Structure 1
Amino acid sequence: MTLIRKLSLVLALSALGACSGGSGGGGSERQVDVSSGPSSGGFVYAGPAPASDEIQQFKQSFYDPLAANDRCGECHTPGGSGTTFFVNQDNVNDAWQAARTVVSLNDPAVSAVVRRVAEGHNCWLGVGQEEACATTVTGYVERWAAETVRTAATVQLLPRRALDPGGARVVPAALTDAVALYPALESSGELMGLLAEYCADCHSDTAPTPQVPYFASADASIAFEALRSRINLSQPQASRVVLRLYPELHNCWSNCEENAAELLSAVERFAAVIDATEVDPGLLISGAQVLAEDGIIATAGGRHESDLVAKWEFREGAGSTVADTSGVLPEIPLALSGEYSWMASWGLRMINARAQGGVAGSAKLFDQLVGTGEYSIEAWVAPANVSQEQAWIFGYSGGPDNSNLVLRQSLYNYEGLTRSSVTEQSNSGEPALATDDNAELAQATLQHVVLTYDPVAGRRLYVNGVYTGDVDSVGGGLLNNWNESFAVTLGNSTSGANPWAGALRLAAVHNRALSAAQVAQNFDVGVGQKYYLLFSVSELLDGEASCTRSSNREPVNYCYVVFEVSQFDDSAYLFSEPFFAHLNPDGGDVNFDLRGIRIGLNGRLVGVGQAFVNVTGRVSGGNLGALPELLSPMGTILALEYGAEQDEFFLAFDALAGRSGVADDGDVESWFPVYNGQPAPDVAIRTFDEINATLSALTGVPTGSNLVSQVTGKTVPETFGAVRRALPGIADFNAFMSSHQMAATQLAAAYCDALVQDGPRRAAVFPGLNVAAAVDSGIDWRGLVAAPLIDRAANAGLLDVDYRNAMLDEVELLISDSRDLKPYVLLNGSWVSDPNPAAHNKRDGLMFCENDAPCGPGKTAEVVKAACTAVFGSALVMIK
């Protein structure tokens, strides 16, 4: 996805289509019911028509869902007790004028109306559900904003606050380190002692109703790990454990303001013994930024949602309710039960839990989907394992044996069930449409899964934007036998008999079967909250007058290096695609050289993940409104320390505008046999073209081979074209990065796949090997596979016998491991190899397939490809 597309704000208005139909057969096994909240609250607008398209968009996106009497309409209209009439029931045009004073279209989450609901003001879902109500209102404002600025070419980037890096006080990584610095930490009246005394009834893993975070656990190491991201030693008053007591008034033990002050003092005493980190004065640094406070939301659109019916984004981060942010009434808030935890990166980790909607709200799916006769279920999921069977990701059902539709995981397969006129014999929608066993598409990693249904083709499954190719054996039919008394569930069936373990990042329902292009579009957009983080370089460009404007108060910076940043998961950030932005509204060109970007966190350069050290180029132009100047298409993962609300990032440059920092490694020197009259180093790195030629020579596969790799989905030249820019561009060993190794591995996989597919070339490299044999049929893996690979890659005859044997041992061990990848199961708190795979009917090992029978010849070929990729993608090929 291009940068321009990422920056665009795309129309994402939900379409309403109410249709009715009969109810299907089968009784309900529903166990739990929750309120779906109000629908219209008895209010029907009868005032003057919207005066413009913009006001009509405001009415559809924001006004209609909030103007109900049981939401905001009773108070925030003339005659009500509210001070701002942003849902004026008499005149939507006046409401539009008032609403503009309580929302921020540039940053919906900070809107006054959102903050008021988050603080507990009139949450219609009830006490304790403020996060869900605030998330819902944020969704209304976002849709209004998307409609209002949908013609704009880019997200509006604004100058950020001036913040100097350094001065951060970092919480020690382990409890033992913390106690060594502050022995009283766990004592009564101190930080951990106070939390253990007053919060253990809820925030403990052994509490009657455990609630994360477990910072009051009886196990001090668990408590400390949960506490690390909830305290801010640089700004103790900003610590979450303090703010939750006051001003948020969360479960105080006596007087909230006094209790908060007591905790604040304890945090301050702990902070006093921690030395502040100071930025190396020799670094050439930018201004600093904090993601949650300074980031500009980048996820403004791009998804196809014209036929959206329901959507859950798991933004809440706390509470026991998940909001339906589709804006299509009636909404379907989901009540959480069981064992679960919220993810900081927008998500819900399901351990043994269920998220269930009420029957009244769930009937929206009956009305919408039966009427069109089509649907799509879309989910971003990360399965916890590949050993769970008939585990429900999404269901609209009354129980395990009575359902309208189900999306579930069984081992390495995703499965879809739909009750229709062609499955009359089954109340559960059997037979299931399942992905191919050999494809092993369900993996324990983040995946985009879509189940579609239409009256002609029936069910289709897509994984990561691609149609799986699995054909519905019963075809399409009508949905006229659905039961409207069923309930929506995520992560389990209504009876709790089908738990699914994993992370849910987004779930959505559409009343049309998404096309392949629309599925790919939503996959490309990705999931979770993304921000633009603007790092000021105005101070370094003091020769560029247009980069800074001085005023009587604060200087305003206009020149920034910008990253797209998201919290990748609970322990990491994703930084990607840096670009230069010039935000001076009066214009003015800039012109300077830039080399080497390094990312700093909390006062020091991060030790792992510096993917932009080789960025180099000249920045010119960049007036406000011009296209951003992309500096690199790459991305990297950085470890989280405090969390998005506290971690302070900055950039350091090797060189910028004629100035250099201590991180400058000097001039890049090419590798030659003799350099400056002196013998060159013995070790260098092959460059991109050399790696490509080397792999071709080793495998015998031409660089232009048209055989498509099952691993990369591309031919050899297509794979090389995709990874070429990520391969080494210079021979200097000091410039080698981990991204180079990953790119070389992908290219090696493409060559090895083509080699194994090509019979004559395969026979030339592996003489005597029969890939049609079963993997356990006595194949001489050492002699027929490991030896040819090592001898080709390391050059036969040059290796010491003992060293060659040691290398053969390593490859043989790799092959042995590849042949026996039986799944792991959780027993007594530890992951162990499944002790009874036959009982679980496993089909996932390379050595053993269904019922512990030996796998077919296709698995032998896979083992050879894996060994070939491991050897030819290693340092044996990279180093020269």
Structure 2
Amino acid sequence: MTRLAPALLLSVLALTGCKTGDSTESLPNTGTPSNAGNYNGPPPATDDVQNFKLAVWDNLVSTDRCGGCHSTGGQSPMFVHADDINVAYAQANTVVNLDDPGRSLLVAKVAGGHNCWLSSDQACADTITSYIEAWSGNSAGSVKRIELKAPAIKDPGATKSFPDSSSDFKTLIYDPLLVPFCGECHVEGIQTPYIASENVTTAYNEAQSRINLENPALSRLVERLRYDFHNCWDDDCAMSADIMEMAIEDFANELDTDPVDPDLVTSKALTLLGDGLVANAGGRYEDNAIALYEFKAGTGYTAFDTSGVEPALHLNLTGNVEWVGGWGIAIGGAYEDEQTGATVPNGKAQGGTSASRKLHNLLSASGEFSIEAWIVPGNTTQEDARIITYSGSSTARNVTLSQFQQNYEVLLRSSTADQNTAFSTADGDNRLQASLQHVVVNYTPSQGRRIYINGEYTGDMDPEDAGLLNEWDDSFALVMGNETDGNSLWEGTLRMVAIHSRALTESQIKANFDVGVGQKYYLLFSVSDLVDIPESFIVFEVSQFDSYSYLFSAPFFISLVDSQEPSGIPVKGMRIGINGKEAVVGQAYANLDMTLDDDEYRPGVGQPLSRLGTIVALEKGPEADEFFLTFENLNGHDHVRTEPALPAEPTPSNGPETPHIGIKTFDEINASMSRMTGVSVTHPDVAETFATVRQQLPSVETLGGFLASQQMAITQMAIQYCDAMVNDTTLRGSFFPDFDFTESANTAFDTDGRTSVITPLLDNFVGDNLSTQPTDVDVTDELNNLMDRLTTCTGSCDADRTATVVKASCAAVLGSAVTVVQ
């Protein structure tokens, strides 16, 4: 790990707030930089200086961003120097990391709350990262190697965590310090974080991520006073910082630690956010991303566009939209608020028409695009549900990605495609699943629309010729989870969305899928004291999977000392511990039994332990949950595990008798009706009806789950099959060889005529010698009663009544239990 040079440290310390004393930072406007591009100084000395100007300087020079302080005659570093772009370039190089833009000191400063022009520090940091990536050329997504660094070593159970009750926080920090000295700004409606909210629970939740229980001096609440001189209530900011630090120390001293069973063989302990090493170090292709949503804010009513392409196309969250842990938003339907009684409308995330215009300008100019998203559909029964749309109404659009049951659909306005005609994944492929999926929609002038699921092309060919996008409307808005009118709800979770002005290649799509989604960390669990090898760790890749769990995967052993290698070290029965105890579920590595050896070990890379991943339940949150590993045997350190005896098997109680018969499922019903009538399942009218009612037909064979709605769907299928058969003169002639369809219904259904209809139905539809089938007499009586009613006409029956009576008789038998029950 490299050390910062003294001059660079001075630059970092100089990146402090412009205001001191009792002032506070306000949130400036969020639009395009007001004076971007207004430069009249010496020309850029090199192409790299010009790239810096276009990518970084133009976006940050505005006085409502960084130009108010770090410009000509202002604070050092003057990386937005207004009079000489070459000076600004030289200064900027002291606070950026072109090899890894996300680790730039400029980014870290803004992420810590310094002069962010948005309501989310993370959004500002991500946006500046995009600016630096555009300058460095790193946005093409070249995969960078992660430099593993040893974390602080601490024993399991020594970490304190925030209690559920906010009473001590209220007494020691909230009442004496936050309310009187932060209450003018850090409350709802003025400025985040809401650490002085009138609701102490809200303030407690907001303050936890800014309090370090292990080292109060490193708390953000302290550092803002001590180093940024932010809103000090004393003439001496150091004194204010000391008072805040002592209050946090008093609060921390009231908390207990979580003890660990001393008999366990354990690694050292880590927390995700405090000790984890960020693993997202590149690999994504985002060269042409013009709108990017990673949903990192986690709070508030805005999803920020952090692509760095101005104007920023931020989305306003309205209705039933909730933030999801591990980055994401969940969109749901309207509901009645139990506390207020008010109706919360369908959720959606919508951008303004003015900012959305950049999609029109850039995509219609390039003539191609990619829409990329990580999504989790709420179910597989939604129809015409808008996932992502750039549209003006439910019938006017430029492009839409939609869900229709288990299909993805793309609707597009072009010179050759109708904006309301969907291009869909194939019926029956069931591409859309109610699980996390990576979806990419490509459009190019040569190939038209293509859909990729989890890195793979679906194979569906666009039926329309590829055309131009010059007919796009620039007055539309980007919407996610709905239409502009709020009446085309899509229920599900969005984890990431990117819109690219160039279509991604198949290799780029695969690379973006392999990178995954959400913030990932490496957790380095120290085992040096157990294996007698210095700087030895078992490393996991860990992410917050959702609001309720963590994902642990790809564990490997490594020593950070390249000259050290393991030899014959047994590893058996590894388990994950959380907050002083082994996790109740998620122990996918409990059966691990292997040897660490130099034959399998590679210096600098390590030795893989397993390809498995596992889910561990979240308890206190990523800031507070403490993890460690336990072992049944590691290098001779044994823990004899005694599994509890299994309880005696209880005597089964006699439940209700299980029926001996069941119900055919949807595909079986369709196949049976086709075989009985001779009508192909591909018949256009039959196929259309089946696609419409398929979700309504039985999906399980359990008789007790049969519903009236399923009978209605079966009846529709029976009517369609019988209609198709009777309308086909060849099929009906084969099925009813002795019946005269040309005769009037008044006379056609005499005794012989009825026999000519009923007998074929009994022979072809009703089984023989089955204990549960109706008798031929019962079926005949029912059909005679039906024919009596249908042939009672005032005067002469209509000419088509004869065929109608046969169709109805056919459907009555085909749609009955004789076909459905098995």
- Shared fold per TM-score greater than 0.5: yes
Q: Secondary structure at the match of 1:361?
A: helix
Counterpart residue number, 2:294: 313
Measure, in 2, the Cα distance between the counterparts of 1:563 and 1:45: 52
The question of whether the paired residues in 2 share the 8 Å contact of 1:775 and 1:819 is answered with no
Deviation at 1:502, TM superposition (A): 2.1
Say if 2:661 is the partner of 1:652.
no
Of 108, 126, 138, the match for 1:135: 126
The question of whether the paired residues in 2 share the 8 Å contact of 1:72 and 1:87 is answered with yes
Of 581, 591, 615, the match for 1:637: 615
Q: Secondary structure at the match of 1:368?
A: helix
Deviation at 1:162, TM superposition (A): 1.6
The question of whether the paired residues in 1 share the 8 Å contact of 2:576 and 2:628 is answered with yes
Counterpart residue number, 2:819: none
Counterpart residue number, 1:281: 262
Q: 1:50 to 1:386 in 2, by over 3 A?
A: farther
Q: Secondary structure at the match of 2:319?
A: strand
Counterpart residue number, 2:280: 299
Of 117, 129, 141, the match for 2:110: 117
Q: Secondary structure at the match of 2:364?
A: helix
Measure, in 2, the Cα distance between the counterparts of 1:139 and 1:274: 41
Measure, in 2, the Cα distance between the counterparts of 1:475 and 1:849: 36
Q: Which amino acid in 1 is paired with 2:408?
A: Y
Say if 2:359 is the partner of 1:365.
yes
Q: Which amino acid in 2 is paired with 1:439?
A: D
Deviation at 1:348, TM superposition (A): 1.7
Deviation at 1:121, TM superposition (A): 4.2
Say if 2:473 is the partner of 1:495.
no
The question of whether the paired residues in 1 share the 8 Å contact of 2:211 and 2:221 is answered with no
Counterpart residue number, 1:815: 701
Equivalent pairs counted in the alignment come to: 637
The question of whether the paired residues in 1 share the 8 Å contact of 2:270 and 2:627 is answered with yes
Of 308, 322, 325, the match for 1:341: 322
Counterpart residue number, 2:15: none
Q: Which amino acid in 1 is paired with 2:272?
A: L
Counterpart residue number, 1:745: none
The question of whether the paired residues in 1 share the 8 Å contact of 2:431 and 2:453 is answered with yes
Say if 2:62 is the partner of 1:84.
no
Q: Which amino acid in 2 is paired with 1:134?
A: A
The question of whether the paired residues in 1 share the 8 Å contact of 2:70 and 2:77 is answered with yes
Q: Which has the larger radius of gyration?
A: 2
Measure, in 1, the Cα distance between the counterparts of 2:713 and 2:226: 59
Deviation at 1:106, TM superposition (A): 8.4
Counterpart residue number, 1:5: none
Q: 1:454 to 1:399 in 2, by over 3 A?
A: same
Measure, in 2, the Cα distance between the counterparts of 1:455 and 1:609: 48
Deviation at 1:274, TM superposition (A): 6.9
- Larger CA deviation: 128-137 vs 110-119: 110-119
Counterpart residue number, 2:651: none
Deviation at 1:526, TM superposition (A): 1.2
The question of whether the paired residues in 2 share the 8 Å contact of 1:536 and 1:560 is answered with yes
Measure, in 2, the Cα distance between the counterparts of 1:58 and 1:622: 46
Q: Which amino acid in 2 is paired with 1:356?
A: Q
Say if 2:669 is the partner of 1:774.
yes
Counterpart residue number, 1:356: 350
Deviation at 1:438, TM superposition (A): 3.2
Deviation at 1:482, TM superposition (A): 0.9
Measure, in 1, the Cα distance between the counterparts of 2:260 and 2:98: 36
Q: Secondary structure at the match of 2:59?
A: helix
Measure, in 2, the Cα distance between the counterparts of 1:855 and 1:603: 65
* TM-score between both structures, scaled by the size of structure 1: 0.60
- Identity across aligned pairs (percent)? 38
Measure, in 2, the Cα distance between the counterparts of 1:48 and 1:264: 49
Q: Which amino acid in 2 is paired with 1:316?
A: A
Of 503, 506, 520, the match for 2:496: 506
Counterpart residue number, 1:464: 454
Counterpart residue number, 1:404: 398
Counterpart residue number, 2:756: none
Deviation at 1:627, TM superposition (A): 2.9
Measure, in 2, the Cα distance between the counterparts of 1:231 and 1:380: 30
Say if 2:525 is the partner of 1:525.
no
Measure, in 2, the Cα distance between the counterparts of 1:187 and 1:326: 38
Say if 2:573 is the partner of 1:593.
no
Q: 1:495 to 1:526 in 2, by over 3 A?
A: same
Q: 1:35 to 1:268 in 2, by over 3 A?
A: closer
The question of whether the paired residues in 1 share the 8 Å contact of 2:321 and 2:329 is answered with yes
Counterpart residue number, 1:453: 443
The question of whether the paired residues in 1 share the 8 Å contact of 2:372 and 2:497 is answered with yes
Q: 1:855 to 1:129 in 2, by over 3 A?
A: farther
The question of whether the paired residues in 1 share the 8 Å contact of 2:173 and 2:248 is answered with yes
Deviation at 1:157, TM superposition (A): 1.2
The question of whether the paired residues in 1 share the 8 Å contact of 2:36 and 2:59 is answered with no
Q: 1:855 to 1:285 in 2, by over 3 A?
A: farther
Q: Secondary structure at the match of 1:155?
A: coil
Q: Which amino acid in 1 is paired with 2:92?
A: A
The question of whether the paired residues in 2 share the 8 Å contact of 1:396 and 1:404 is answered with yes
- Larger CA deviation: 239-248 vs 617-626: 239-248
Say if 2:218 is the partner of 1:323.
no
| 1:431-446 correspondence to structure 2 within 5 Å | 431-446=421-436
The question of whether the paired residues in 2 share the 8 Å contact of 1:131 and 1:318 is answered with no
| 1:742-781 correspondence to structure 2 within 5 Å | 773-774=668-669
Q: Secondary structure at the match of 1:576?
A: strand
* TM-score between both structures, scaled by the size of structure 2: 0.64
Measure, in 2, the Cα distance between the counterparts of 1:392 and 1:44: 44
Q: Secondary structure at the match of 2:392?
A: strand
The question of whether the paired residues in 2 share the 8 Å contact of 1:39 and 1:329 is answered with no
Measure, in 1, the Cα distance between the counterparts of 2:544 and 2:67: 37
Deviation at 1:313, TM superposition (A): 1.0
Deviation at 1:648, TM superposition (A): 1.4
Counterpart residue number, 1:756: none
| 1:177-326 correspondence to structure 2 within 5 Å | 276-326=257-307
Say if 2:467 is the partner of 1:477.
yes
Q: Secondary structure at the match of 1:117?
A: helix
Q: Which amino acid in 2 is paired with 1:409?
A: Q
Which ranges of structure 1 fall in alignment gaps of 5 or more residues? 1-33, 179-183, 548-557, 667-680, 683-768, 779-811, 823-836, 839-844, 858-880
Counterpart residue number, 2:91: 98
**Alignment root-mean-square deviation, CA:** 5.4
Q: Secondary structure at the match of 1:774?
A: helix
Say if 2:556 is the partner of 1:579.
yes
Deviation at 1:570, TM superposition (A): 0.7
Measure, in 2, the Cα distance between the counterparts of 1:500 and 1:120: 34
Measure, in 2, the Cα distance between the counterparts of 1:499 and 1:813: 25
Q: Secondary structure at the match of 1:534?
A: strand
Q: Secondary structure at the match of 2:468?
A: coil
Q: Which has the higher contact order (CA 8 A, sep 6+)?
A: 1
Measure, in 1, the Cα distance between the counterparts of 2:513 and 2:32: 31
| Deviation by residue 1:226-267 (Cα, 9 ceiling, x = unmatched) | 899879896596999989999999xx9x99999999999999
Measure, in 1, the Cα distance between the counterparts of 2:139 and 2:417: 45
Measure, in 1, the Cα distance between the counterparts of 2:565 and 2:170: 61
Q: 1:584 to 1:408 in 2, by over 3 A?
A: same
Q: Secondary structure at the match of 2:128?
A: helix
| Deviation by residue 1:406-455 (Cα, 9 ceiling, x = unmatched) | 1122333322111111246xxxx111223344333333322222222223
Deviation at 1:532, TM superposition (A): 1.1
Of 54, 59, 63, the match for 1:65: 59
Q: 1:149 to 1:285 in 2, by over 3 A?
A: farther
Q: Secondary structure at the match of 2:285?
A: coil
Q: 1:214 to 1:819 in 2, by over 3 A?
A: farther
| Deviation by residue 1:812-847 (Cα, 9 ceiling, x = unmatched) | 996328986x9xxxxxxxxxxxxxx97xxxxxx8x8
Q: Secondary structure at the match of 2:450?
A: strand
Q: 1:818 to 1:479 in 2, by over 3 A?
A: farther
Q: Which amino acid in 1 is paired with 2:516?
A: G
Q: Which amino acid in 2 is paired with 1:281?
A: P
Deviation at 1:151, TM superposition (A): 7.7
Say if 2:597 is the partner of 1:604.
no
| 1:698-713 correspondence to structure 2 within 5 Å | none
Deviation at 1:396, TM superposition (A): 1.7
Measure, in 2, the Cα distance between the counterparts of 1:212 and 1:382: 29
Deviation at 1:169, TM superposition (A): 5.1
The question of whether the paired residues in 1 share the 8 Å contact of 2:481 and 2:489 is answered with yes
Q: Secondary structure at the match of 1:594?
A: strand
Say if 2:19 is the partner of 1:43.
no
Q: 1:97 to 1:239 in 2, by over 3 A?
A: closer
Counterpart residue number, 1:725: none
Say if 2:125 is the partner of 1:162.
no
